[in-house]
Structure 1
Amino acid sequence: MTLPVALSGSDVIGQAKTGTGKTLGFGLPLLERVTVPADVEAGRARPEQLTDAPQALVVVPTRELCQQVTNDLLTAGKVRNVRVLSIYGGRAYEPQVEALKKGVDVVVGTPGRLLDLAGQKKLRLSAVKTLVLDEADEMLDLGFLPDVEKIIEALPAKRQTMLFSATMPGQVISLARRYMSQPTHIRATAPDDEGQTVANITQHIFRAHSLDKPELVTRILQADGRGLAMIFCRTKRTAADIADQLTRRGFAAGAVHGDLGQGAREQALRAFRNGKVDVLVCTDVAARGIDVEGVTHVINYQSPEDEKTYLHRIGRTGRAGASGTAVTLVDWDDIPRWQLINKALGLPFNDPEETYSTSEHLYELLGIPQGTTGVLPRAERTRAGLDAEEIEDLGETGGRGRGRGSRAGAAQQQPPREERPKRAPRRRRRTRGGVSVEGAGAEG
């Protein structure tokens, strides 16, 4: 639906459920408008139209989404050899600056690092013909809107702007009014799909006790036909704790949350995509746009903050026409919050059934074999695990290890204790009223 409008050069506001292919909805028109040497050779463009400055800019809210959009655009632009660069925090500046110097056609980035490099005059925005704001409502939630506005103000006035968002809060609409000219608003929904949730996701809501949740989760993870699974937590601490517990119980689990360095976050996501890890425990940072094939189960370990977060979390499964299962475990304290989400989405789960790891209905509803325990049998531990995935040295910024790499890297750079030169012991001088009193006692 967006392609004909976007290819004509008009401004577009695109709104669709998660997992419906928004990336290529803006990606293909954006790649078409970029002029590359292949176009000059084919006679579609003149040599003077070529430039090494970015011709298109995609702004995304999270680092994980930044990588994913970059990979999709690289795949789609491979035939014409379009140069796509991802720019985000948590990595060293130098490689990003070097790549910009060599010349790029499309930049995909998070607001903070984009502003940073534009402010240092390392990123030239004067040649940008197309701007895309992806997941605009999430940028609003994360407080990125002022940064986004500064970026937009640095761009040429004559350009195409495309804004994509699953939901349209008032501030996103006012952003569109201010910076877009006569945009076409496209909402993609199937005629028979009335609700806001994707129809091919089976949803289960259980009232669960927080002390029993780890046991519940381990049983759900042993359901028949489970492929990859994502577990969402509200806090970074819970995510780290659950990932550790699952690993101890024999599951191949990884974690993605804000307390991890960028290298560790990318290691976990790569291991998940490559199938070395089949359970990814994450905070809501990974609920946006992360598209991994074969995710059959999403478990909300803690009730989400609001209905938008719920939709994005469960939208990690049931993507591109596949079916999926979403299980939400609601604490007693969280029942009022869940009821608000339930009402907002028009779901039939106002009073979730009380459920424990031994409840018969749990086994029946989710297809868990009878006799399943909280530990994965040794015979089923077939995944390589997180350690099988290399961790990259990203030259991380932000105090995670000194200089380049991790703390371990910093420790390796120091000589062993025996080899270090011995320091002379410090001599202390006693003073009184600023006058040295060395040996004063002996004289008296």
Structure 2
Amino acid sequence: MTLPVALSGTDVIGQAKTGTGKTLGFGLPLLERVTVPADVEAGRATPEQLTDAPQALVVVPTRELCTQVTNDLLTAGKVRNVRVLAIYGGRAYEPQVEALKKGVDIIVGTPGRLLDLAGQKKLDLSHIRSLVLDEADEMLDLGFLPDVERIMNYLPPKRQTMLFSATMPGAVIGLARRYMTQPTHIRAVSEDGEGATVANTTQHVFRAHNMDKPELVSRILQAEGRGLAMIFCRTKRTAADIAEQLEKRGFASGAVHGDLGQGAREQALRAFRNGKVDVLVCTDVAARGIDVEGVTHVINYQTPEDEKTFLHRVGRTGRAGKKGIAVTLVDWDDIPRWQLINKALQLEFHDPVETYSTSPHLYELMNIPAGTKGILPRAERTRAGLDAENVEDLGETGGRGGRGGRDGGRDSRDGGRDGGRDGGRGSRDGGRDRDGGRDG
């Protein structure tokens, strides 16, 4: 639905469920509309129209999403030889500046690092013909709106602007009114009607006791036919703790949260994609747009903040037409919060069933073999594990002890105030990571 409108150069507001292919909805028109040497050879453009300055800009809220969108665009742009560069905080400036000097066609970046490089005149945004704001609602949640507006001031007034978002709060619509000209609003609704989650994801909601959750999760992870699994926690401390507990129980697990350096976050995601690790424990930083093939189970270890977060977490499975299973564990004191989410999404789990790791209905619903205990038998420990995946040296900025760049943490939802105490006052960069509040 997006392609014909976007290819004609019209402004677009795209709205669709998570997991329905928004990246290529804006990616293909960008790749098609940049001028590259192949166009000159084919006679579609003159040599004067070629430039080494970026011609398209995609702004994303998190670093994980930044690398993923970049890889998707590189894959799709291979034939036309389109140069795509990821620009985000938490890693060294020099390689990014070098790549910009060599010439780039499309830039995918997080707001803080983009502003840093544009402010230092290392990034020339005066040739941008197309701007995409991906996951615009999330940028608002993270307080990125002023940064996004400042980036827009660097861009030529005459350009195509595309805005993609799963939900459309008022502020996003306000942004669209200010910066877009007669945009076409495309809202994709699937055949399964207006359901907020994808229909081929089976939902299970259990009332579980906090002390029993690690045991319960360990048994669910031994369900028959389980592929990769993602476990979502609200706080960084819980995520780190659960990843460690699961490892002790014999599972190949990794973690992604704001207290980890960028290298460690990327190592865990890579190991998960490559299948060296089959359980990824994360905070909501990984709930937006992360697309890994073969995720069969999503477990909400802690009830999410709100229904939007719930949709994004659950949307990591059941993608692109595959089936998925989503399990939500609701603590006693989280029942009121869960009931609000349940009502907002019109689900039928108002009073979740009280469930323990030994409950017969758990084994039956989740397809867990009888007699399964909370420790993975040695014979089944076949994955290489997190240590088999190398950690890249990214020349990390900010965070521990460094005074680095502006954007290390603002673009990851879950870091807590970790810029303050351990990043040194000079880095505005550990900061506004959202779920640290409690434990940061």
TM-score by length of 2: 0.91
- How far is 1:403 from its partner? 9.6
Instruction: In structure 2, give the amino acid aligned to 1:54.
Output: P
Deviation per residue, 1:235-261 (Å, 9 max, x gap): 000000000000000000000000000
* C-alpha contact (below 8 Å) 2:252/2:384 kept by paired residues: yes
Give me the whole-angstrom Cα distance separating, in 2, the residues matched to 1:399 and 1:375: 35
Deviation per residue, 1:155-214 (Å, 9 max, x gap): 100000000000000000000000000000001012332211110000000000000000
Corresponding residue number in structure 2 for 1:320:
320
* Gap change, CA 1:225 and 1:211, over 3 Å in 2: same
Give me the whole-angstrom Cα distance separating, in 2, the residues matched to 1:297 and 1:199: 15
Question: Which SS does the other structure have where 1:229 is aligned?
Answer: strand
Runs of at least 5 residues in structure 1 that lack an aligned partner in the other structure? 405-444
Instruction: In structure 2, give the amino acid aligned to 1:216.
Output: L
Question: Which SS does the other structure have where 1:350 is aligned?
Answer: coil
Give me the whole-angstrom Cα distance separating, in 1, the residues matched to 2:402 and 2:108: 27
Deviation per residue, 1:49-103 (Å, 9 max, x gap): 0001000000000000000000000011111110000000000000001111111
Corresponding residue number in structure 2 for 1:392:
392
* C-alpha contact (below 8 Å) 1:252/1:277 kept by paired residues: yes
Note the 1:285-434 alignment, pairs <5 A: 285-400=285-400
Note the 1:80-229 alignment, pairs <5 A: 80-229=80-229
- 1:10 equivalenced with 2:6 (yes/no): no
Of 216-225 and 193-202, more deviation after overlay is shown by 193-202
Question: Which SS does the other structure have where 2:3 is aligned?
Answer: helix
Give me the whole-angstrom Cα distance separating, in 2, the residues matched to 1:399 and 1:68: 22
Give me the whole-angstrom Cα distance separating, in 2, the residues matched to 1:181 and 1:105: 24
Question: Which SS does the other structure have where 1:333 is aligned?
Answer: helix
* C-alpha contact (below 8 Å) 1:395/1:403 kept by paired residues: no
Instruction: In structure 2, give the amino acid aligned to 1:150.
Output: R
- How far is 1:402 from its partner? 6.2
Structure 1 runs of 4+ with >3 Å offset: 399-404
Give me the whole-angstrom Cα distance separating, in 2, the residues matched to 1:296 and 1:197: 15
Question: Which SS does the other structure have where 1:211 is aligned?
Answer: helix
- How far is 1:154 from its partner? 1.3
Give me the whole-angstrom Cα distance separating, in 1, the residues matched to 2:402 and 2:337: 42
Deviation per residue, 1:248-280 (Å, 9 max, x gap): 000000000000000000000000000000000
Give me the whole-angstrom Cα distance separating, in 2, the residues matched to 1:252 and 1:191: 37
Question: Which SS does the other structure have where 2:187 is aligned?
Answer: strand
- 1:55 equivalenced with 2:18 (yes/no): no
TM-score by length of 1: 0.90
Give me the whole-angstrom Cα distance separating, in 2, the residues matched to 1:59 and 1:264: 23
* Gap change, CA 1:266 and 1:319, over 3 Å in 2: same
- How far is 1:4 from its partner? 0.5
* C-alpha contact (below 8 Å) 1:396/1:403 kept by paired residues: no
Larger Rg: 1
Instruction: In structure 2, give the amino acid aligned to 1:342.
Output: N
Give me the whole-angstrom Cα distance separating, in 2, the residues matched to 1:9 and 1:399: 41
Corresponding residue number in structure 1 for 2:420:
none
CA-based RMSD: 1.0
Runs of at least 5 residues in structure 2 that lack an aligned partner in the other structure? 405-440
Give me the whole-angstrom Cα distance separating, in 2, the residues matched to 1:63 and 1:176: 24
Give me the whole-angstrom Cα distance separating, in 2, the residues matched to 1:60 and 1:388: 30
Corresponding residue number in structure 1 for 2:236:
236
Give me the whole-angstrom Cα distance separating, in 2, the residues matched to 1:322 and 1:192: 14
- 1:65 equivalenced with 2:65 (yes/no): yes
Give me the whole-angstrom Cα distance separating, in 2, the residues matched to 1:272 and 1:241: 18
- 1:32 equivalenced with 2:29 (yes/no): no
Give me the whole-angstrom Cα distance separating, in 1, the residues matched to 2:206 and 2:243: 21
* Gap change, CA 1:389 and 1:401, over 3 Å in 2: farther
Question: Which SS does the other structure have where 2:251 is aligned?
Answer: coil
Instruction: In structure 1, give the amino acid aligned to 2:367.
Output: G
